[in-house]
Chain A
Amino acid sequence: MLSYAFKRLLQAIPTLLIVITLAFFLMRVAPGGPFDGERALPPDIEANLMAAYHLDEPLPQQYLRYLGDLLQGDFGPSFKYKDFSVTDLIQQGFPVSLEIGGLAILLALALGLPLGVIAALKRNSAVDYAVMGTALAGIAIPNFVVAPLLALVFGVILSWLPAGGWNGGALPNLVLPVLALSIQQIAYIARIMRASMIEVLGSHYIRTARAKGLSERLVVWRHAIRPALLPVVSYLGPAIAGIITGSVVIEQIFGIPGIGRYFVQGALNRDYTLVMGTVVFYGALIVLLNLIVDLLYSALDPQIRYDD
């Protein structure tokens, strides 16, 4: 198990390297330099700036330098937020993003799983149709539509909750962004859980469990839930990626100071180091979380062997 985890970690390295390399060279082939937009700088000052940021070195050298800095957790300086390094910005933003994203995935599981199980147990009943119809709506309405609508209804019209802002992470400020971020995932998880639960309930080993005289509650809890969870667990990777991507717009809409917002602002301001830093950071995060999901899966399913 441990050696398997280690092996998977090693496999993640080339993936990350691809992300970093792609991001780095994409930036460098981009037309224009980082200091173009501002008023024309005197040539000697620009040369000084270039030297200070090592932009005067040959490209391969810059690439290696960037890799070396990355290894030390240094993403370089931000071009627009003058007094901050990208690392500073990520360090400031990440806890906020983590809180929202983490709560969203927890909420998605806490609501999606039971809804899926209930729909499966009451298959083809009014409850099932209601849950699945709502889920389809949840999938069809994108989070960047849900978020402003939530803000409009609960923030502006009803004034129950703040329509935006962070306020140091106070609970009322958390509710709407977390809800907006998780709705789509709740819907997906409920659908996947329902489908896999129905399949498991029709399986031969559930028939065996009933033939043993177990109560329906035990049959469901002990024999059906865990195997039915497996497809949901393999969906967690995409779900996490979806929530991370979604957090970019949600932070934008609700004005939350997470890295998603830095990313969008960086992109719009052509703050190349910041964009690249966030992309690399997100890439590493997604790769790492995928690894954790895979390990979780193999812990749940004894049929997975570690020898390959």
Chain B
Amino acid sequence: MTSTPTTSAASAAGDSLGREAWRRLRQNKAAMTSLWLLGAITLACVAGPWLTPWGLADVDWNAFGVAPTLDGGHWLGTDANGRDLLTRTLHGGRVSLSVAVVATLVSLVIGVLYGAVAGYLGGRVDNLMMRFVDILYSLPFMFLVILLMVVFGRNILLIYAAIGAVEWLDMARIVRGQTLALKRREFIEAAHALGVRDRKIVTRHLIPNAIGPVIVYVTLTVPKVILLESFLSFLGLGVQEPLTSWGVLISEGTDMMQTAPWMLLVPSVFLALTLFCLNFLGDGLRDALDPKTR
């Protein structure tokens, strides 16, 4: 081996890891399909309710419990009260997706801050902070969230906060682990030796290198959060009328499944498809960002 460049002479500009990861992701058909589908579902939920001729609570007095049909205008049927199921499902999607986004952001902010501080400070502070996380881990959080909903009533802001507060633990552990591992890497030491300020080391070296696992974990947190919200709603502890969510609709559908199975199937398909795509995308991102694990 000589000291002359052996890499291909194609272009002088190199490929950053991010661009390479994106290329690997684009080659992953399942992940890309999931990405498109997710985009379509999100778009439909955001824009759809304005486009359908029915409102969330509009009752079509000519169509109670109508099965999906192309003629009546109710493509996915109506529920027992004559409300258009497509409209309701898209509205429900808005709530489910907004919970997903907000609660994930809450968990992301708490988790990243907590984990980065513990990892960067290290030593006794880290020890204490992580003991606290351990204790929280062994709490039956799901039940405390339910307790919270029972006590304070069903409130969408509370759902955001409660779910976010439950899901940050894993994020904190991951970020702390990353920070600790990075801190020992020689390029961080080299930056110290160059006299780079702590703040710059964090922004220029720590965060860009820790971001990959965080992105992957965020994609995997979103389905968990959606699931949690639907679970609460299914139990009748989540959002309440006039709002609806996929969990609420599935719960209504379960009650009616013998006479109107589409009421169960439609929201279930939307929920399952979204979760399926998010999981696929998460797996794909993990493979793309860390090809070793494949």
Direct contact of A and B (CB under 8 A): yes
CB nearest neighbor in A for B131: A11
User: Which of chain A's residues have a CB closer than 8 A to the CB of B261?
Assistant: 152
* Residue pair A140, B138 in contact (C-beta under 8 Å): no
With A141-B272, A275-B147 as given contacts, are A245 and B142 in contact (CB-CB < 8 Å)?
yes
Does B140 lie within 8 Å of A282, measured CB to CB? yes
Could you tell me if B151 and A18 are in contact, using CB atoms closer than 8 angstroms?
no
Interface string of B149-166 (1 = CB under 8 A from A): 111100000000000000
CA A245 – CA B254 in complex, angstroms?
19
Contacts of B279 in A (CB 8 A): 136, 139-140
Are A14 and B237 in contact, CB atoms less than 8 angstroms apart?
Answer: no
Shortest CB–CB separation between residue A70 and chain B, in angstroms? Answer: 16
A233 is an interface residue with CB less than 8 A from chain B: no
**A290 touching B250 by the CB < 8 A rule?**
no
Given contacts A142-B227, A148-B264, contact A267 B235 (CB under 8 A): yes
Within 8 A of B (CB), among A236-258: 241, 244-245, 248-249, 252-253
A 125-154 binary contact with B (CB < 8 Å = 1; else 0): 000000000001101111011001101100
Q: Which chain A residues numbered 11 to 35 have a C-beta less than 8 Å away from chain B?
A: 12, 14-15, 18-19, 22-23, 26-27, 29-30
Query: A275 and B150 in contact (CB under 8 A), knowing A144-B231, A249-B231?
Result: yes
Name B113-150 residues within 8 Å CB distance of A: 135, 138-140, 142-144, 146-150
Cβ-defined contact, A136 with B280, below 8 A: yes
Cα A304 to Cα B253 in complex, Å, equals 49
- For A137, list chain B residues within 8 Å (CB): 272, 276
Q: Number of B residues whose C-beta is below 8 Å from A?
A: 40
When distances are taken between beta carbons in the complex, the residues of chain A under 8 Å from B234 are 144, 249
User: Judging by beta carbons under 8 Å apart, are B235 and A140 in contact?
Assistant: no
A283 within 8 A of B: yes
B268 contact from A14, A27, A149, A151, Cβ within 8 A: A149
Q: How far is the CA of A283 from the CA of B139 in the complex (A)?
A: 6
Q: Any chain B CB within 8 A of the CB of A156? A: yes
Interface residue from B147, B227, B271 paired with A26 (Cβ < 8 Å): B147
Nearest A residue to B272 via CB reads A141
- Determine whether the beta carbon of B250 is less than 8 Å from that of A19: no
Task: Please give, as numbers and ranges, the residues of chain A lying within 8 Å of B272 by CB-CB distance.
Answer: 137, 140-142, 145
On whether the beta carbons of B250 and A145 are closer than 8 Å, the reply is yes
B interface secondary structure, majority: helix
Q: Could you tell me if A287 and B144 are in contact, using CB atoms closer than 8 angstroms? A: no
Assess whether A286 is interfacial by the CB under 8 Å rule: yes
* CB-CB contacts below 8 Å: A285-299 with B: 286-287, 290
Chain B residues contacting A253 (CB-CB under 8 Å) are 254
Residues on A with beta carbons closer than 8 Å to the beta carbon of B146: 263, 267, 275, 279
Given known A136-B280, A141-B272, contact A152–B140 (CB-CB < 8 A)? no
Bound together, the chains give a CA A144 to CA B253 distance in angstroms of 11
A223 contacts partner chain B, Cβ-Cβ < 8 Å:
no
Q: Which residue of the partner chain B has the closest CB to A270?
A: B150
Q: Does B236 contact A (CB under 8 A)?
A: yes
* Minimum CB distance partner of A142 in chain B: B227
Q: What's the minimum C-beta distance from B115 to chain A, rounded to whole angstroms?
A: 19
How many angstroms from the CA of A46 to the CA of B59 in the assembled complex?
45
Measured in the bound complex, the distance between the Cα atoms of B147 and A244 in whole Å is 16
Shortest distance between the CB of A177 and any CB in chain B (Å): 14
- Which B-chain residue is minimally distant from A184 (CB atoms)? B227
Closest to B150 in A: A267
Nearest-neighbour CB distance to chain A for B155, whole angstroms, equals: 13
Cβ distance A16 to chain B, nearest Cβ, rounded Å: 9
Contact assessment for A26 and B151 in the assembled complex, using a CB-CB cutoff below 8 Å? yes
A10: interface (CB < 8 Å): no
Chain B residue numbers with a CB within 8 Å of A103 are none
Query: Are A286 and B151 in contact, with the CB atoms below 8 A?
Result: no
In the bound assembly, the distance between CA atoms of A267 and B144 in angstroms comes to 12
A102-136 toward B: CB 8 Å interface, digit per residue (1/0)? Answer: 00000000000000000000000000000000001
Interface residue from A12, A26, A145, A264 paired with B235 (Cβ < 8 Å) = A264
A12-B138, A156-B258, A286-B140 given; name 13 further pairs at CB < 8 Å.
A15-B138, A18-B139, A137-B276, A140-B278, A142-B275, A145-B264, A248-B235, A253-B254, A267-B147, A275-B150, A276-B147, A279-B140, A279-B146
* A-B residue pairs in contact (CB < 8 Å), sample of 14: A18-B135, A30-B152, A136-B279, A139-B275, A142-B231, A144-B231, A152-B264, A245-B142, A267-B235, A267-B237, A268-B236, A275-B147, A278-B143, A279-B140
Residues of B within 8 A of A (CB): 135, 138-140, 142-144, 146-152, 223, 227, 230-231, 234-237, 247, 250-251, 253-254, 257-258, 261, 264, 268, 271-272, 275-276, 278-280, 283
Chain A residues engaging chain B, CB cutoff 8 angstroms: 12, 14-15, 18-19, 22-23, 26-27, 29-30, 136-137, 139-142, 144-145, 148-149, 151-152, 156, 241, 244-245, 248-249, 252-253, 263-264, 267-268, 270, 275-276, 278-279, 282-283, 286-287, 290
